[in-house]
Chain A
Amino acid sequence: MNSDAISLPEILRTPAVIEGSISPGGVDDQVLSHVSRKPPAAWFAALAITSGAMLLGFALIGYTVYEGIGVWGNNIPVAWAFDIINFVFWVGIGHAGTLISAILLLFRARWRNAISRFAEAMTIFAVMCALIFPLIHVGRPWLMYFLFPYPNQRGIWPNFRSPLVWDVFAVSTYFGVSLLFWYLGLVPDLASMRDRATGRIRKAVYSLLSVGWRGSSSHWLHYEKAYTIIAGLATGLVLSVHSVVSFDFAVSLVPGWHMTIFPPYFVCGAIFAGFAMVVMVLVIARRLMGLENLITSYHLDVMNRVILACSCLMGYAYLMEGFTAWYSMNEPIHHTFWQYVFGTYWWAGWLTIACNILLPQLLWSRRLRRKYSVMILVAIGVTVGMWFERFVIIVGSLHQDFLPSAWRIYRPTLVDGGILLGSFGLFFTLVLLFARVLPVIAATEMKAVIPGAQPADTGGAHE
């Protein structure tokens, strides 16, 4: 979690993880104090907007359940549309959080400490948004338990060779493990909040949540080991989850889906979209919550470099996909790829390329990389682009496959759009509530890495 002793690559060795000097107590005062302050008017205004969108989404979900999913634009052959696009999109957003909290922890990237908590919270909220969509897409969500292998009077089991069943296991494991990881990281901070809390109810709630954490050295011994192990497991998990999501497509025979590049391509795209969302939220949060000295422009710079790297990888993946399609000498695949860029949805294909490949190239410039307006522009661009990438893959491939007599132009309805808007409302409502009641920065981890926090001579690194 904190090692200066291991030699790091240049990109990770830059020391300026905190601007100015701050004491461990100062970290607490800055990070944990907002709970006791009255939220600013802007917070209430933002909450009103996001919860309004959320309620609209829930109302439309209710309408969908009452009326049936015929109120959406989906119809054969485009049986998957907004619902699965949104599912893949939101699961992908979550991946940045796990990458920052788990993979960068294993790589000992110290800049992750300041942003890991926010990113992990966004993982949880994004997966919650994602889980809504398969649930309502089954049409009769109250029979959702059919997905799980439980003994039943029909004497049958789920088909364990189906990627859709793998998905059930992968995404539910991902949600459970992410929640556990997030909570374990929170426990020492919750103990700090317990000891700072003044109100009776607040103290009781934080006491209960911090499960009596007292920071003894034997606690820390097991805690650090367990945290590192879960980080290692989460690393494998995060790579597997979007791979399994990509199997939903790659294992089928639909032209444009049946490709071996899909698992790494999807994982990269997920991290790409997730980092964009993290940058978007952090740029706003650090300013509104006065955390500029902890989440510095260096952090944003590093995240933008990750976005740039992912963008280049995505460009490679698009080219490779196109090459594979051309090299297949398979007429339906040729047709599908032609449709991606010159078909009915040509604008979605070009929008994807413009937002995901061209726009992030601005980040090559160090000056632009540290400019708020450019960062937000790129982050929004990538979010839009990644959503439309899934639109191209799903709708673009399905609407014209092997059987020309079954071709159909897909048009989403207002209900589709409203539920998508509602999922954004839910996500940002949860982010806003989180920012009020829980420490948005891992204060304990920050305290451990500020200069002078560790004894000078320890006889080498440890975990």
Chain B
Amino acid sequence: MSERCFSVLGLFDSAQALVAAIPIVRRGTGALLEAYTPYPVRGIEKALGRRKSPIAGMVMVTGILGALGGLGLELWTSAADYPLVTAGKPPGAWQAFVPIMFEVTVLFAAFTAGLGMLALLNRLPMFRHPMLRSQSMPLITRDRFALAVEAEGQPLDVEKTASLLRAAGASAVEVVGMPAPPGPVSPNAVLTAFAALAMSCAAAGYLTYWAVKLFPVFPPMVHMLDQPRLDPQRASAFFTDGFGMRLPVAGTVARGHLPSLIETPDEAAVLSSPLPRTAAVLQAGREGYRTYCAPCHGVLGDGKPTLTAAYGAKPANLTSQAIRDFPDGRIYHVIAAGRNAMPGYSWELNQDQRWAVVDYVRALQRSQSAMDSDVPEGVK
């Protein structure tokens, strides 16, 4: 008598009996055999003619990918995208990258072995398998051994198979039907549970994102901006005048800022530069000029920069005859004390820097009134 079923199951009391029965059943039927055991039984794969597990190859491949991935990440980030020199080593020195390469290799290989075994090779999770509904399952996970003759979708001669299994030593026989009736965990319930899990993960992720974004800016976190420290330009109740920033003690003289006894431009005319006229001094003067003078007087010193045009100001033309006739000391005095609308620059430029700027202004004046005759004979 043939009927549609998933398999016919013979139960055995010991691993010994199961292994002994396999060749007998095999001779009696051409159908697919599968054994179910509470623990791995030695020699059973051989008796059933199973092929070796391919898992070692899979692990090898992903392990190598992990090593290369780890090395690639480290090389790209540390040597290509943002070259970082640590302890004087070349950015691409690979020796320090070995620990992380190793960890990533193990991570990839272990999860390939674990999840690859469960999901790819054993096709788990699977909650609808007919075996899970069988009466024998609780016995199998406990201490009994089962040999299943599987129908593989074809009608199976149940009577004949059952007697074959009994003849091979089975103590009990069960016909596992199909399709599986819904059990305590229906597929829908599992799907619902997974959907709920996915949705709560998404919700938790969204909340975490905002928590991480907002948490640091709420008191008392405020990204550590609130610190017991006096920032520049802030008031302070500690001092009687209410200012957080303090003035120097009376009579303090900063380096390079000796107070000048000279009050008028005429008195200043007698001063002269203490510096030698070297290229280095002119270079320092150029730097000072470009920083503090050029915005108004222009890089050429002609008083025609773009900046002041908008304000209708009229800065002096430093290359004019009047200023060319100034003695050095007078130009020095203007830099230090200011003139007309121009403020003094004595805090920004110290004495040496002022003299260097004076020298540079002289150089500008000379360059702006250059003649053909200034060019040497040889290069004309």
Question: What is A's interface to B at a CB cutoff of 8 Å?
Answer: 1-2, 23-25, 28, 66-67, 140, 142-143, 145, 149, 155-163, 165-166, 169-170, 173, 176-177, 180-181, 183-184, 187-188, 191-192, 194-196, 200, 203-204, 207-208, 211-226, 229-230, 233-234, 236-237, 240, 244, 247, 444-445, 447-448, 452-456, 458-459, 461-462
Contact = CB atoms under 8 A, between A and B. Distances in A.
Interface string B285-307: 00000000000000000000000
B131 interface: yes
Given A169-B99, A222-B121, A24 B142 contact: yes
B143 A25 contact: yes
B185 A204 contact: yes
B100 A225 contact: no
B110 A177 contact: yes
A23 B142 CA distance: 10
Nearest to B212: A142
Contact of A160 (B43, B100, B137, B224): B100
Contacts of B216: 140, 142-143
Given A142-B216, A226-B55, A240-B103, A215 B50 contact: no
Interface in B84-127: 84, 86-87, 89, 93, 96-97, 99-100, 102-104, 106-107, 109-111, 113-118, 121-122, 124-127
Nearest to A442: B39
Contacts of A216: 34-36, 131
Given A157-B77, A204-B184, A226-B117, A170 B103 contact: yes
B42 A212 contact: no
Contacts of B137: 195, 214
A72 B126 CA distance: 51
A213 B118 CA distance: 9
A456 B125 contact: no
Contacts of A140: 216, 221, 224
Contact of A444 (B34, B39, B73, B81): B39
Given A169-B100, A216-B36, A230 B110 contact: yes
A448 B69 CA distance: 39
Given A143-B216, A212-B125, A453 B15 contact: yes
Contact of A225 (B55, B102, B221): B55
A224 B50 CA distance: 14
B185 A24 contact: no
Nearest to A199: B184
Contact of A180 (B82, B110, B125, B185): B110
Contact of B140 (A156, A215, A244, A453): A215
B141 A191 contact: yes
A200 B224 CA distance: 52
Interface string B28-45: 000000111111111111
B117 A225 contact: yes
Q: A-B pairs with the 6 shortest C-beta distances?
A: A226-B117, A458-B43, A211-B125, A24-B143, A195-B138, A157-B77
B339 interface: no
Given A218-B50, A240-B102, A453 B39 contact: yes
B375 to A, nearest CB: 51
Contacts of B40: 1-2, 220, 223-224, 448
A158 B96 CA distance: 13
A240 B84 CA distance: 25
B84 A159 contact: yes
B100 A229 contact: no
Nearest to A154: B82
B189 interface: yes
B245 interface: no
Q: Which of B132, B142, B190 has the most CB of A within 10 A?
A: B142
Mostly helix, strand, loop or mixed at chain B's interface? helix
Given A169-B99, A462-B46, 14 more contacts: A2-B42, A160-B100, A161-B78, A161-B97, A170-B99, A173-B106, A181-B114, A184-B117, A195-B138, A208-B193, A216-B131, A225-B117, A452-B14, A459-B43
Contacts of A461: 42
B129 interface: yes
8 contacts: A24-B142, A207-B183, A208-B190, A212-B132, A222-B55, A222-B117, A240-B106, A458-B43
A169 B104 contact: yes
Nearest to B221: A140
B342 interface: no
B215 interface: yes
Given A149-B73, A455-B15, A214 B36 contact: yes
A215 B113 contact: no
Contacts of B36: 214-217
Interface residues of B, number: 83
B43 A173 contact: no
Contacts of A184: 114, 117-118
B87 A161 contact: yes
A155 B35 CA distance: 57
A142 B140 contact: no
A458 B16 CA distance: 10
B19 interface: yes
Contact of A221 (B39, B53, B185): B53
B230 interface: no
Nearest to B97: A160
A321 B114 CA distance: 40
B74 interface: yes
Q: Which of A66, A143, A156, A195 has the most CB of B within 10 A?
A: A195
Contacts of A459: 43, 46
Q: Which of B46, B74, B184 has the most CB of A within 10 A?
A: B184
A272 B25 CA distance: 52
A194 B368 CA distance: 98
B220 interface: yes
Q: Which of B118, B126, B127 has the most CB of A within 10 A?
A: B118
Q: Which of A145, A170, A216 has the most CB of B within 10 A?
A: A216
B204 interface: no
A88 B114 CA distance: 28
Given A161-B78, A453-B15, A459-B46, A28 B143 contact: yes
B269 interface: no
Contacts of B109: 229, 233
B74 A160 contact: yes
A211 B224 CA distance: 47
Contacts of A196: 138, 142
Contact of B42 (A67, A156, A204, A454): A454
B188 to A, nearest CB: 13
A225 B103 contact: no
A180 B111 contact: yes
A236 to B, nearest CB: 6
B122 A219 contact: yes
A217 B34 contact: yes
Contacts of B185: 203-204, 207-208
A220 B59 CA distance: 18
Contacts of B42: 2, 454-455, 458, 461-462
A10 B103 CA distance: 35
B277 to A, nearest CB: 46
Nearest to A66: B220
B261 interface: no
